[in-house]
Structure 1
Amino acid sequence: MNIRKWFYLFWTTLLIGAGGAVIAGLLLQVVNGGIDFKSTADSLIYPLILLGYGMLVSVYAQLGFFAYLILNYMGIGVFPRKAWQYIQIILSLLALLELIFLRTFVGGGRNVVSDLLLGIGILLTAIIVAYFKVRSTNRSAWIPTFFFLTAITIVEIIGVLRIGVDSATVFIVVPLIACNAFQILMLHRILKPKQ
């Protein structure tokens, strides 16, 4: 990967994150009844705040993506390829189980439904994106894509999960998953050598 390709990935992911945050923020306003803006300037500044927040989330997603690439490179170097695939599957399942069940039982007083919906949403997104990644590349891409979109995404949202507010979770998860899905689907296109 050269600087020009990284620059393209950076800016397109930035736009995806900004768009995802605007969509999530406006949908949350419709669902929650909206904000009473005091002036027209406030109503114009709010989408700009959403854009800025989405850009921050996209940079955070890019940090997680490059951390995953390094982890995957090290995992392939340390473990045999088949063992590394099994490790990724096990870690993905443990992350999903922790998100869906363990937080509810250990944390106490949590809403089981919101954790269940979040876990199912992440799982379905990971399966769908892994399917399209396999169609674009080959079957060996399924496990790394699934691992990145489950385990790494769950690690990235730990901070917002500690807050325990469902709107805040939706507000960060939507642009984060959009950025993660975009990055993993674009990786092979960006790294493909020119004909």
Structure 2
Amino acid sequence: MTSRNWVKLFMTTLLIGGITTAIFGFILRWNEFQPYFTEFKIIDILSAFIWLIGMGFLFSLVSQLGFFAYLTVHRFGLGIFKSVSLWNAVQIVFILFGFFDLIYLRYVNFAKQGESIIPYFGPALILLVAGLVVARIKMKQTNREAFIPALFVMTIVTLVEWVPALKVNDRSWLYLMMLALMACNAYQLLILHKLNAKSAQERQKRASQSNNHKPLSGNKKALTKKPSM
């Protein structure tokens, strides 16, 4: 990816994190912010909005760090296992363990005596449904092999990034951080291959111009190669 497209990815993901957090922040914490609106406290509304935007930027940075860390791990995984199907199978195992930890360990650590485990399936179900939807879209845009990696990012990578809110276990922050992370991770997943293709085209164009408009076979191959992510 060219530096120009990387900056574009960084800034747009940052913006998505900020806007998502601001919107859902007012919704999920309406009881706290409602007096600002009923009493027309414009300064307080703006202060809360800016604060939520700032938190969204922070969530976005966490998302981007996790996403690019996974891209590195993904390449290592493909190199170690020498097989896309085997590496995908390993990721499926991690996904299953991740959901077990999300449901059972949260129940063990935070459930009150006599409380049912059923409510602890809620966040896991949201994460799974969102992950399946985004992974299916990614698969249609690229190829079948991208489904499991995309699902892994939307579930396990999001889960790892989500740990600070999971430890606090405050309901509003729990869902607020989850929604912001999912929005950022989904955007990065669905735009990555497009930016990579655009970057390859830009490099080919510059190379052609510098070589009297002679196309380079290596760049042509990069354009036609199907992305794994």
TM range, normalised to the smaller chain? over 0.9
1:97 is aligned, of 93, 97, 100, to 100
Q: Which residue of 1 aligns with 2:167?
A: 162
In 2, Cα distance between the equivalents of 1:83 and 1:75? 9
**1:112 maps to amino acid:** I
CA contact (8 A) 2:29 2:172 kept: no
Q: Which residue of 2 aligns with 1:87?
A: 90
Structure 2 unaligned blocks of 5 or more: 202-222, 224-229
Q: Identify the structure with bigger relative contact order (alpha carbons < 8 Å, sequence gap 6+).
A: 1
Aligned-CA RMSD value? 1.8
In the comparison of the two structures, how many residue pairs are matched? Answer: 194
1:50 is aligned, of 49, 52, 63, to 52
109-118 or 184-193: bigger deviation: 109-118
21-30 or 145-154: bigger deviation: 21-30
Relative to the length of structure 2, the TM-score reads 0.79
In 1, Cα distance between the equivalents of 2:103 and 2:35? 35
**2:166 maps to amino acid:** L
In 2, Cα distance between the equivalents of 1:101 and 1:157? 16
Once the two structures are superposed, the pairs formed by residues 1-195 of structure 1 within 5 Å of their partners are 1-30=1-30, 32=31, 34-37=33-36, 39-81=41-83, 82-105=85-108, 108-109=111-112, 112-192=117-197, 193-194=200-201
**1:41 maps to amino acid:** I
In 2, Cα distance between the equivalents of 1:40 and 1:85? 51
In 2, Cα distance between the equivalents of 1:137 and 1:187? 11
Could you list the per-position Cα deviations for residues 87-121 of structure 1 after superposition, in whole angstroms to 9, with x for gaps in the alignment?
00100111011112233135553773442110000
SS of residue paired to 1:91: helix
Q: 1:108 to 1:170 in 2, by over 3 A?
A: closer
In 2, Cα distance between the equivalents of 1:93 and 1:132? 21
Structure 1 unaligned blocks of 5 or more: none
In 1, Cα distance between the equivalents of 2:77 and 2:29? 42
Could you list the per-position Cα deviations for residues 31-77 of structure 1 after superposition, in whole angstroms to 9, with x for gaps in the alignment?
x3635348431122111111111111101100000110011011111
Q: Which of the two has higher C-alpha Rg? A: 2
In 1, Cα distance between the equivalents of 2:128 and 2:157? 12
After TM superposition, which residue ranges in structure 1, 4 or more long, deviate above 2 angstroms? Answer: 32-40, 105-115
In 2, Cα distance between the equivalents of 1:115 and 1:55? 28
